[in-house]
Amino acid sequence: MSDYENWGRERSVPSGRLSRLAGFGGLAAGVAGSVIGQGAKRLAAGERPSLNELLLTPGNAQRLTDRLSHLRGAAMKLGQMVSMDAGDVLPPELTSILAAMRDKANFMPARQLDAALKAEWGADWRSRFKWFNPRPIAAASIGQVHKAMTRDGQLLAIKVQYPGVADSIDSDVDNVAGLLKLSGLLPDDLDIAPLLAAAKEQLREEADYVREGQQMRLYAERLADDSGFAVPQLHEELTSRNVLAMSFEEGRPIESLADADQDTRNRVFGRMVQLVTRELFDFGVMQTDPNFANFRYRSADGAIILLDFGATRPVAPEVQAAYRNLLQAGLAADPVRIREEALKAGFINQAVIDRQGEKLDRIIAIITAEMSKDAPFDFGDRAFVPLLREEGMAIAQDKQAWHIPPAETLFVQRKVSGTALLGAKLGAVVNIRSIVEEALKQWPAR
């Protein structure tokens, strides 16, 4: 956790249902006005723009960023997920604007913060501390973090949930889904109901800080024998459903290691990849939010500090099996089996194979060629990414082939993809094949 720097601004969180609905209404009106205005300009210039082109403009991305940053909660969380998961697909100008939702969250005014803590700890809550810094050291979609010291000298990080966020999860997700449907970006026959239900379930779990504290304690137990990781210690007395208190762990942002020496970058990222394999095949439990802010680096001993456990989920045995089979096919560089296993796992559907088989095979060939080498893989060399983007976007244009994989697989894949993005950020060079082979050998099918 770092000191406050370069965030958004102090803004009250709309906590009532009507005020949050009005926020979405304002966003929809702003986007609609932009579409009409831009459409008229381009038609006058003799162009015939598509609706997607009019919607996906930097101006509308800025509107989305500002409004969701104000609302926070599930609305902002979904925006953050889009910015991270689509980093190699969206145009750079849109990616940079959406990324502001990860880096510049707004924070509660002191009066709203005081009211939230009075509701949890009582009117005399300040008497519990030698000092409590009202200026947050971190702010995110569901809560903000403050530094404090208890009367007995314990230095704590205290996460305070934004008022009304937990109660607004269902309506926020539905409103964001409504905006997507209204935009015409999604085919009418694409069933996103299972994904929305899973998103709501996970967000409800993330809003339960008692549950997160339990997951944090369990992770500390799982990693007790690994000095390469550090997990904060839970302060149970001060923790409630809306407040999470833990030991303050000093560290630097993990992405700042991009300036470190190559050996350090390789070692740290290799350890992150090994953690993912342990979560997938050993723990059977995974923290599925790969946001860089959830990981810090402690220079004193080289440990990676794990900070956020709200998105921790069990990994079902069938998901473990699907990844094991897919990885084994990849290690064997067997494109036919890779396609078969991807189909069985639900990553793709038969329509993609039937309609876009050649493009899919080229994607498989690119990935297999890059990832199956028994040699260090340079995550900083993104030369193959434009090739994947070109083939992937070509497939995405065919809406009849669109398909949403099972939600449980998507959560795991989000962690895998986000970890790869960290590798690219660090410019790490790691032998992925040897890590995967060791994981499959150490934790075979059970």
pLDDT of residue 276 exceeding 60, the answer is yes
pLDDT of residue 36 exceeding 70, the answer is no
What is the predicted pLDDT for the residue at 265? 98
**pLDDT bucket at 445, cuts 50 / 70 / 90:** confident
Average pLDDT over residues 361-378: 86
Q: Which neighbouring-strand residues pair with 189?
A: none
Tokens at residue 379, please? 């995550």
Average pLDDT over residues 358-373: 86
d(CA 168, CA 73): 8
246 contacts: CB under 8 Å, gap ≥ 6:
156, 157, 158, 159, 213, 216, 232, 233, 234, 235
pLDDT of residue 340 exceeding 50, the answer is yes
pLDDT digit string, tens, across residues 247-260: 999 999 999 999 99
Sheet holding 252-253, edge to edge: 229-230, 303-306, 295-298, 252-253
pLDDT digit string, tens, across residues 388-431: 878 877 887 787 877 788 888 888 988 998 899 899 999 999 99
pLDDT digit string, tens, across residues 109-151: 889 999 999 999 999 999 999 999 999 998 877 889 999 999 9
% of the chain surpassing 90 pLDDT? 50
d(CA 277, CA 439): 6
C-alpha torsion sign, points 345, 314, 80, 24:
positive
Phi-psi region of 76 (alpha: psi -120 to 50; beta: other; left: phi over 0): alpha
What is the predicted pLDDT for the residue at 257? 97
First and final C-alpha spacing in the chain? 38
d(CA 198, CA 194): 6
% of the chain surpassing 70 pLDDT? 73
What is the predicted pLDDT for the residue at 190? 66
The answer to whether 147 and 157 are in contact (CB under 8 A) is yes
| Buried-exposed string 12-27: b where 16+ CB fall within 10 A, e elsewhere | ebbbeeeebeebbeeb
* 94 burial level (CB within 10 Å; 0-12, 13-18, 19+): buried
Alpha helices (H) in 72-156, listed in sequence order: 73-85, 92-98, 100-103, 110-121
pLDDT of residue 81 exceeding 60, the answer is no
d(CA 82, CA 79): 5
d(CA 233, CA 254): 20
Phi/psi of residue 229, each to 5°? -130, 150
The answer to whether 200 and 173 are in contact (CB under 8 A) is yes
Average pLDDT over residues 311-327: 95
**pLDDT bucket at 383, cuts 50 / 70 / 90:** confident
**pLDDT bucket at 167, cuts 50 / 70 / 90:** confident
Of residues 225 and 87, more confidently modeled: 225
Residues annotated as catalytic are 289
Tokens at residue 39, please? 């459409």
d(CA 6, CA 281): 39
The answer to whether 255 and 419 are in contact (CB under 8 A) is no
Of residues 335 and 86, more confidently modeled: 335
Tokens at residue 158, please? 């205290």
Q: Helix or strand or coil: residue 94?
A: helix
The answer to whether 162 and 107 are in contact (CB under 8 A) is no
What is the predicted pLDDT for the residue at 87? 46
232 contacts: CB under 8 Å, gap ≥ 6:
157, 216, 246, 247, 248, 249, 305, 307
What is the predicted pLDDT for the residue at 51? 40
Mean per-residue pLDDT over the chain, rounded: 80
What is the predicted pLDDT for the residue at 384? 77
Residue with tokens 């449907």: 181
**pLDDT bucket at 43, cuts 50 / 70 / 90:** very low
H or E stretch covering 396 = helix 385-396
What is the predicted pLDDT for the residue at 12? 59
* β-pairing verdict for 138-139 and 129-132: unpaired
pLDDT of residue 245 exceeding 60, the answer is yes
**pLDDT bucket at 369, cuts 50 / 70 / 90:** confident
Q: Which of 23-37, 154-168, 273-287, 394-408 has the lowest mean pLDDT?
A: 23-37
Phi/psi of residue 402, each to 5°? -65, 145
179 contacts: CB under 8 Å, gap ≥ 6:
24, 27, 28, 31
CA distances from 332 to 24, 318, 378, 439 (A): 49, 21, 20, 15
Residue with tokens 């995405």: 396
